[in-house]
C-alpha cells in the first residue's frame, strides 16, 4: 500500500514559530488538528499525544510539559531524517529545548521551530520521492 503524498513540503518554520510565539502557542492549537498532527504521526509511525492535550497540561507547568513534548517529537523527527539518509542538520531534543529556554531573548523559539519544520519538510520531500510523487 502506497503512503499518501505530503502536500506541504515548504512550510516556513521561522514565521510559524514567530506567530506561535506571539500567540502563546494558540496558533498551533489551530494548525495541529488541521493535518499537521496526522502527518507527524504518519511519519513517526505511531500516534503522538494530541497537541491540545500537551498544551493544556503545559498551563500548570508554565509550558515546560509542552516544551518537553515538542522536544521529544523533534528528537524522533531527527532520528527519522537520519534513518532516511537525509543530509544536513536536523532537529533534536537538545536543539528544540535549548533554543526555547536559553535563546528566548534571541528569537530562539523561532530558530527551533525553523529547524523543526526544515527537518519535517525534508522528510516529507524524501518520502514523496520514494513513493513516486515528484515535484
Residue 26: its pLDDT value, please? 87
**pLDDT tens digits along 21-64:** 888 888 988 888 888 999 999 999 999 999 999 999 999 999 99
Do the domain assignments include residue 2? no
Do the domain assignments include residue 15? no
Do the domain assignments include residue 17? no
Which domain, by its residues, includes 81?
A: 24-130
Do the domain assignments include residue 9? no
Do the domain assignments include residue 3? no
**C-alpha–C-alpha distance, residues 24 and 2, integer Å:** 38
Do the domain assignments include residue 54? yes
Q: Specify the number of domains making up the chain.
A: 1
Angle, CA of 48, 70 and 28, to the nearest 5°: 85
Do the domain assignments include residue 29? yes
Amino acid at each position: 500500500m502506497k503512503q499518501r503524498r505530503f502536500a506541504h513540503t515548504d512550510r516556513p518554520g521561522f514565521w510559524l514559530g514567530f506567530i506561535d510565539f506571539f500567540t502563546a502557542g494558540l496558533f498551533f492549537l489551530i494548525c495541529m488538528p488541521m493535518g499537521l498532527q496526522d502527518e507527524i504521526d504518519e511519519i513517526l509511525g505511531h500516534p503522538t499525544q494530541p497537541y491540545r492535550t500537551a498544551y493544556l497540561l503545559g498551563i500548570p507547568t508554565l509550558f515546560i510539559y509542552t516544551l518537553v513534548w515538542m522536544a521529544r517529537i523533534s528528537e524522533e523527527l531527527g532520528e527519522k531524517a537520519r534513518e532516511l539518509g537525509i543530509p544536513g542538520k536536523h532537529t533534536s531534543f537538545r536543539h528544540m529545548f535549548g533554543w526555547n529556554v536559553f535563546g528566548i531573548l534571541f528569537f530562539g523559539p523561532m530558530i527551533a521551530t525553523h529547524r523543526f519544520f526544515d527537518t519535517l519538510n525534508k522528510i516529507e520531500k524524501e518520502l514523496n520521492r520514494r513513493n513516486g510523487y515528484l515535484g
